Chain A
Amino acid sequence: MKRLMNNGQRYWITFATILTKEILRFTRIWVQTILPSVVTTTLYFVIFGHLIGDRIGEMNGFAYLDFIVPGLVLMSLITNAYSNVVSSFYSSKFSRYIEELLISPAPNWIILAGYVTGGVARGLVVGSSVLIVALIFTDIHIAHPGIMLLICIMTATLFSLGGFINAIYANSFDDISIVPIFVLTPLTYLGGVFYSIDLLAPIWQTLSLANPVLYMVNAFRYGLLGVSDIPLNIAFGMISIFIIALTALSLNLLRRGVGIKT
């Protein structure tokens, strides 16, 4: 029992150390990590919201500017959660300071939890910043804050796990930018950020259902606006399944030492 408690305290200290290191990392360089998303989404609001949005009219009963807010917030959150973990973990591999952790008694699940929570933290900080900008530009009243926060945490967790797996397999800095550019961005843009899937032809609607981002954007839209193209329980179920699958894969890769041990 004493050993278990000692282990619990030791694991907590290790987890807190990794998490603090990760948070300090992105807050020290906030101009590179937090500010760009805020500036970019402000431009989206100005251009798509005010200049083009007024001509588009309403979507699902909301002004176009209001409709795209959930997608823009979630897009920032996804990109930042992913890129935080992928760049931090790959840098630690590249400069070999991951060895500091590998030789320590930190169990693999603590290492994973530390990095993923670091990604979630950056995703939430950037997502919140973008949301604050959105609230300045719009008259949105948050419909279900609890659901909104939960979906933010789950989405950031899922994409932090994705970033972690990407970093494990990456052998160069090119490898950590390929997935965000060629996979993450298309999935996000095609995940209903800027449109309702009701606008698509039936075949494209069906294909869109295979895109995990669609479930997140819609669940988040429900939290923020109270409307969704996808039933909420299906959205939570899908996200949970993806989180469980990627966690299992990450732990398996760490156990085998793929990409980090010879």
Chain B
Amino acid sequence: MPALIATQLTKIYKTGFHALKGIDLTVNEGDFFALLGPNGAGKSTFIGIISSLVNKTSGQVRVFGHDLDRDPESVKSCIGLVPQEFNFNLFLPVIEVVLNQAGYYGIPRREAKIRAERSLRQLDLWDRRDSEMRTLSGGLKRRLMIARALVHQPRLLILDEPTAGVDIEIRRSMWTFLRELNHEGTTIILTTHYLEEAESLCRNVAIISEGQIAERRSVADLLNTLHTETFVLNLRGRVSELPELGGFVLQQLDDCTLEVEMNRDHTINGLFDALSRNGIEVISLRNKQNRLERLFLELVDRRTDAAGAKE
């Protein structure tokens, strides 16, 4: 059974802004799904409708078979939401925030205490359980939002830019935690601006642009559509003249750095062989740009151009 089916979902705000223009999207149970799109594309509106924070204009939402219009309580029981912005009572202690959330879901107090402890321990927050919310750092607040969203053990966890503004160490630990959670069976939908995050965590991806789904496929399939890839090479020694390497487009960034654009038909081994033949030694290499980021920009540009042409 799909975790989420959105059918012809539209949202027109009172200002007349058409945020969603008939979105059709299915997310399968157990998936780790990325929802990408530029600012204002409609990602947060889409998530807001699913989690009952935004009223839809038309369309249908089904979560694990429950219809949002006919059985909103069952839909809500299935979903855990980690919103983009902090939404706490800053004067409450950490433990009370989690216990209250459990209470709102009808979980008896004794059970709620057990679950709250488990959630807080999982997110390394148990030692801060009596601290007031306002004393927590941004990273700890982000982790608490995940702990709070998990206290009722949702089957579908929706995270709206969960790692925005947190340092790399916390981000990595959150990634590990989310991977484990997904592995244990929780379906996860993630929006993020860190495309590396989506590439690293998610199996499937949808790109929203101007209120419509611009692309929806597996991350692997999407990355396969890239025809070229660009690497930056740090060299041992200086290169005075660029060699001619068939199939590779070279550009010298400085005396010891080369940028190589290579076709998907070629391999890194072939590149290294060609460089060695020309007496060039490579110390290290890196991708010039995150691959998904490049695809994302290409897709969004393409849609913007198409929209411009229509006008």
Q: Residues of A with Cβ closer than 8 Å to B?
A: 9-11, 13-14, 16-18, 20-21, 91-92, 95-97, 99-107, 256-257, 261-262
Are A105 and B77 touching (Cβ within 8 A)? yes
Given contacts A95-B89, A100-B104, A107-B73, 11 further A-B contacts (CB under 8 A): A14-B104, A14-B106, A16-B103, A95-B88, A100-B87, A100-B101, A103-B53, A105-B76, A106-B104, A106-B106, A261-B53
Q: Which of B53, B74, B106 contacts A99 (CB 8 A)?
A: B53
| Distance A106 CA – B106 CA, assembled complex (angstroms) | 8
Residues of A within 8 A of B48 (CB): 262
How many residues belonging to B are interface residues under a CB distance threshold of 8 Å? 31
A-B contact pairs, 14 of them (CB 8 A): A10-B105, A14-B105, A17-B103, A18-B103, A91-B89, A97-B88, A103-B51, A103-B76, A104-B76, A105-B77, A105-B105, A261-B54, A261-B55, A262-B48
| Total residue contacts A-B, CB cutoff 8 A | 78
- Known contacts: A103-B52, A262-B48. The answer to whether A92 contacts B73 by CB under 8 A is no
Chain A contacts of B77 at CB under 8 A?
105
Given A9, A100, A105, which contacts B100 in the complex, CB threshold below 8 Å?
Answer: A100
A99 and B83 contact, CB distance less than 8 A: yes
List residues of chain A with CB within 8 A of the CB of B285: none
Main secondary structure of the interface of B (DSSP, over half): loop
Q: A197 CA to B85 CA in the complex, in Å?
A: 54
Give the docked Cα–Cα distance between A56 and B106 (Å): 57
* A96, A107, A262, most chain B CB atoms within 10 A: A262
Determine how close the nearest CB of chain B comes to the CB of A94; give it in whole angstroms.
11
User: Is B40 positioned at the interface, with any CB of A under 8 Å from its CB?
Assistant: no
Q: Is B13 an interface residue (CB 8 A)?
A: yes
Q: How far is the CA of A256 from the CA of B14 in the complex (A)?
A: 14
Closest to A111 in B: B104
Q: Does B79 contact A (CB under 8 A)?
A: yes
Residues of chain A contacted by B223 (CB below 8 angstroms): none
Q: From A20, A105, A257, A261, name the one whose CB has the most chain B CB atoms within 10 angstroms.
A: A105
